[in-house]
A and B are shown apart, each in its own frame.
Chain A
Amino acid sequence: MAPENKKRSLWDRIQFCDPRILYALFAVVVIGFEMIQIKMPVPNPIWVGKLYDRIESLPPDKAVLIDCDYGAGNRGECEGQFKAVIQHLFARNIKFMVVTWTTNVEGQKLGRQVLDEVAKKMNKVDGEDYVMFQAIVNAGGVTLQSLAKDIHGFVVKDINGRDLNEIPMMKNFRSIADVSLIYRVAYSWGGIPWIGFVQSVYGTPLAAGSAGIESSTAYPYLDSGQLCGLLAGAAGAAAYEKRVMEAGIVNETGIGTKTVSVQSFATLFVVVSILISNFAMFMSKWQSKRGRA
């Protein structure tokens, strides 16, 4: 608690400073490093490599199911994860289905913008190379089970209003048996329903892209093999974008790479401010002991 005595020492003033000062400094750091983009080495987490290798070895006669469930708030982290993976899938000519949910309209809108942009650049056609549809959420596991058992029966139409039976690509992809990988992009990878109702039942590999803060709950599932890959936050997105660039699929840096260097310095700011606060606490204690002595 801040001492109520009006005469506060320097260290107390530092310890209990107005949070607005911190906000202002932080804003300066973020804006500054956003403008002066410093090139930093991109992290190379092992689980990003595993997802990349898995996509490299996917069979061409099955599709990938992408669960696009991120929102405007976590766009900075999740959009890069989504974009890099679909670029990779397009480059390998692997068809994929993007499922969005009625409970998150933003996911559909944002995902569609990215998808349309990438498809246009890579000359891919909606309905032949990819499909996007929206599924009604009943209750977690029941929804996923219904989707896994019969995609056409559960979803019926794509987001353009076309009957799935009339879409050329969807002739061959009717259930989870026709899916070689599930990739969920969301703020919270929230995969327990996917793991419990789909991955453990049908054995389809599951990978996740989530915000960095939520990714810590995914690690237990990586080691046990229930998750086959993880893109954690902007760092994960940047790592995947790097691989995609090195493979020659794209030749421009993605949003993850641009974000991660700023994020790096922002993290450093947080660490330094915590250390300063602790240092101020120790100095304040030492001073008051000296004062008493």
Chain B
Amino acid sequence: MSKRNVLKIIAFLVGLYFFLEYILPEKVGGEFDSYEVGSPVCVEKDGKKLQFYVGNYYKGRGIIGRMVKSSGKWKKDQKPCLQRSLFLKFDQYGLIEPDVAITPEGLTLLYLGQNEKEPVLCYAVSSDDGQTFKKKGPVVISTNDVFKTFENAPNGQIPDRIKSFAADYKGGSWDVYLFTMTYRVWHAAGPDLKHLTLDAQPLVSTALLEKSPNAFDVYKEGDAPVLVYVMDREIVEFRQGGGNWTPKSWKAPAGNGTNDTIYAGGRMDTSDGTLYLGTKKMQKARPIDSPYETTLCAVNLRDKGDGEPLAPEMTVYKKVGASPRPTYLSYGTEWAGKFLTVVGSFAIFIAMINLMLFHGKKIYQSALNYNAPVGEEKLPGGGAPFRNFLKNAGYSAVFLIFLAVMIVCALKGQTDEAKGTIWKTSFDFLFNAIQAPMGSAVFSMITFYMISAAYRSFKVRSLEAGFLMAAAIVCMVGQMPIGELLASLVPESWKLLQLPWLSSKLLSVLNAAAYRAVLIGTLIGSVAISLRIWLGLDNSVYSSVD
């Protein structure tokens, strides 16, 4: 098999790998929570404690996992019970903040699905105690008995964007509490999650705390709702009395600053007054690992008085952030990125060697000429060897000297210790006084070249050229202050003659249309070439000779 065919096969296999990684739906298994865990919610069903939590295999990629408590120990399911859907829009980017309720169908899990727009409150139902769930779509809330999902409002008619929520099912009826971006809390109730009616007024109409909580939950004491706000280092419960919301809070034990434990997710288990919490703590880890140590833990609030320090009493599951365990095809992308970085970095040496060879050769030949006897010079010119040397290899010598100086100053002058030293001063001088002005000067040459080119070539020899000239003048002058000045002389009713307006219309309508057309063609062309290279149909990438 020829070398070229081997290369083609390798190229095809590599391309196939990335193509499949791109188009195949992601199915996460195994260590789906290797990066972080959080947002636990606990429920007791048939004497068994079930805990659902959010596991991340990558920052921002949440999946719901399940744990079961048996014989006093929590046992984690190896596979997740609910994942994001790639081809449905509501939870394309992950699932967060689950809440669970026991319903006649089994278990109903509500969650916030993340997507390209706003989080959407969705739900799924399980009949096997939460081992697997079947998605039912978004929860539908209405203010006027029209229970409908809208394109821009998948949850129906909510006055504000949802930040968090809490749900409860009792006596055949749902109570859903929505914590919105404006810190208000709304209540919706209904017989099922597709027919919830929003109250006319919010339950809480102002911000109870200055900052928005990391987690939010609601439970009932009798018929009265109790709001639970989980903050960074504090947990606050609000109870309504006399039209006001009275807080009762617990603070986290004193920490040591940047390494403090932060409370993240949290849901109350009202059966025993336990608050299941997710915590986060910074740790020094290898750069590619998650820097957090995350924990699922629990604390009993009933025994605690107002203001008592609150330390988690039971750690359910501790996860020291590890390298994200990608899905079955994602290893390659990460590896390819690193490979390209390394290869690209070494390629700089090839370029440097070429530069050295070229300029070194010039200097060497000039030096030979310098020492050559009269009449035997290898390069043109004679008589004044040093002048000839400067003429033939002066620039090369300058280049190599400045290259060496810049490299040394950059290496020595960019460390913290170098502040105030000659290296730092030299590097700053070389950059600010030489490189930057030279870059600006060379860029300015373009303007001069443009003037001579335009003066020479921009001639109106046909009707189309005339239109082009007119459009060019309108665009040039319209974007400048002089255009504004001229526009101020034109009345508003003659807006069509105002150059800035005309210029913006030309650019945003006509120019945009032409640019889009060319861009479509260009990009399809590049797709075709990429396809040919991938399938090995194009030999030109391997050699110029077939």
Contact = CB atoms under 8 A, between A and B. Distances in A.
A122 interface: no
A32 interface: no
Nearest to A45: B504
9 contacts: A41-B481, A43-B500, A73-B440, A109-B436, A110-B436, A142-B340, A161-B415, A217-B515, A277-B459
Nearest to A74: B443
A127 B233 CA distance: 22
A289 B93 CA distance: 72
B512 A223 contact: yes
* Interface band, chain A: 35 or more
B43 to A, nearest CB: 28
Contacts of B211: 61
Interface string A112-150: 000000000000000000000000101100110010011
A220 interface: yes
B340 A76 contact: no
B451 A43 contact: no
Interface of A: 16-17, 19, 22-23, 26, 40-46, 61, 71-76, 106, 109-110, 136, 138-139, 142-143, 146, 149-150, 152-153, 156, 160-161, 165-166, 168, 171, 174-177, 200-203, 212, 216-217, 219-220, 222-223, 232-233, 235, 238, 260-261, 263-271, 273-274, 277-278, 281
A41 B485 contact: yes
Contact of B452 (A22, A71, A153): A22
Contact of A72 (B336, B443, B482): B443
Nearest to B280: A171
Contacts of A146: 337
A211 to B, nearest CB: 9
A152 B473 contact: no
B442 A264 contact: no
A160 B416 CA distance: 7
A268 B482 CA distance: 8
Interface in B454-513: 454-456, 458-460, 469, 473, 476-477, 479-485, 488, 500, 504, 507-508, 511-512
A106 B436 contact: yes
Interface string B391-417: 000000000000000000000000110
Nearest to A167: B258
Interface in B404-458: 415-416, 431, 435-440, 442-444, 447-448, 450-452, 454-456, 458
A212 B436 CA distance: 20
Contacts of A264: 480-482
Nearest to B92: A201
Interface stretch (B164-172, B284-292, B357-365, B367-375): B284-292
Nearest to A157: B287
A14 to B, nearest CB: 10
B476 A271 contact: yes
B435 A72 contact: yes
B484 A40 contact: yes
B60 interface: yes
B455 A235 contact: no
Contact of B287 (A22, A156, A271): A156
Contacts of B483: 43
A13 to B, nearest CB: 13
A142 B337 contact: yes
Given A72-B436, A156-B287, A42 B504 contact: no
A271 B117 CA distance: 46
B145 interface: no
Query: Which of B58, B451, B473, B481 lies at the interface centre, i.e. has the most chain A CB atoms within 10 A of its CB?
Result: B481
Contacts of B338: 138
Contacts of B451: 19, 22-23, 26, 269-270, 273
Interface in B300-338: 333, 336-338
A212 B337 CA distance: 33
A109 B406 CA distance: 14
Contacts of A139: 337, 340
A235 B448 contact: no
Given A149-B59, A203-B117, A165 B284 contact: yes
A75 B444 CA distance: 11
A261 B485 CA distance: 11
B458 A277 contact: yes
A76 B436 CA distance: 12
B413 to A, nearest CB: 12
B272 interface: no
B341 interface: yes
A232 B503 CA distance: 13
A143 B340 CA distance: 11
B59 A150 contact: yes
Contacts of A72: 435-440, 443
A168 B58 CA distance: 22
A226 B108 CA distance: 37
Contacts of B455: 17, 19, 22, 273-274, 277
B282 interface: yes
A71 B444 CA distance: 13
Contacts of A175: 59-60
Given A43-B484, A203-B117, A274-B458, A216 B337 contact: no
